[in-house]
Amino acid sequence: MKGGHDLGGQKGLGPINPEPEAQEPVFHAQWERRVFALTLATGMLGKWNIDESRHARERQDPLAYLNNSYYENWLTGLETLLLEKGLVDAGELSQASPGANNQAHASLSVPSPQQAEKFLFTGSSSLMPTQEEPGFRVGDRVTVRKMEASGHTRAPGYAQGASGVVSALLGCHSYPDTNAAGVHEGKPLYTVAFRGQDLWGAYAKNSEVFIDLWEPYLIPAQS
């Protein structure tokens, strides 16, 4: 999906002036800490996966995405999911309080603090078993498909249409494009090396970029 979130390599956005990492606080305000905690806590209910969460943030109006801060976009995505999954209704969300007779989700499995801590520190792998043979090998030259679909994708816009060389095969991993729609399947994942000049023109000729890309994003490069 191309939208306000796909900013890599875009022109006209001005210089990047990040805070030095050693000086930047983890959160700039207390409400950011709360949004982060709410996102993790509700994610543990098992009603959506990480790709659905990302896609919920991406689906907002592009101008709103650009005007929002990082955690404002997280909050927008969370509100979207809470409404779509029926965990709250519009009235509850606007009043920031649960309904008096809301028993619809009394059976939800809410993790204990100990279980939540275990989830956070152990996580889970996206590696999946497969009998499918990868379509490309290390050293193959490939081109990233140009995609206009409205769904979620992890193929950055600046790489679409560009050609590079497969530098590593990473195994079969959960495919984010279908995972965002609730279909959990695996596809071969590759690291592809691109010359800077093939992404951004001659002025970037002294750089090289490595991007992890799933097989459906790739086609053999024209010789």
- 141, exposed or middle or buried, with CB in 10 Å at 0-12, 13-18, 19+? middle
Q: Give per-residue burial for 11-22: e unless 16+ CB within 10 Å, then b.
A: eeeeeeeeeeee
- Cα first-last separation, the chain: 28
Distance CA 60, CA 188 (A): 30
Lowest mean pLDDT segment, chosen from 47-51, 129-133, 169-173: 129-133
Distance CA 150, CA 32 (A): 29
Averaged pLDDT of the chain: 89
**pLDDT-derived band at 50, boundaries 50, 70, 90:** very high
Instruction: Give phi and psi for 166, each to the nearest 5.
Output: -65, 120
Query: To 5 degrees, how large is the angle CA 221–CA 187–CA 170?
Result: 80
Q: Are 156 and 169 a contacting pair, CB within 8 Å? A: no
Q: What pLDDT, on the 0 to 100 scale, is given for residue 103? A: 54
Q: Are 140 and 215 a contacting pair, CB within 8 Å? A: no
- The whole model's pTM is what? 0.86
- 122, exposed or middle or buried, with CB in 10 Å at 0-12, 13-18, 19+? exposed
In the predicted model, what is the mean pLDDT of residues 131-158? 92
The larger pLDDT score, comparing residue 218 to residue 8, is at 218
Residue 20 has pLDDT above 70, yes or no: yes
In the predicted model, what is the mean pLDDT of residues 37-51? 93
Lowest mean pLDDT segment, chosen from 8-17, 79-88, 182-191: 8-17
**What does 109-156 look like in DSSP terms, one character per residue?**
-PPPHHHHHHHHHH----B----PPPS--TT-EEEEPP---SS---S-
Residue 101 has pLDDT above 70, yes or no: no
Torsion-angle region of 6 (φ positive above 0: left; ψ -120 to 50: alpha; else: beta): beta
Q: What pLDDT, on the 0 to 100 scale, is given for residue 132? A: 83
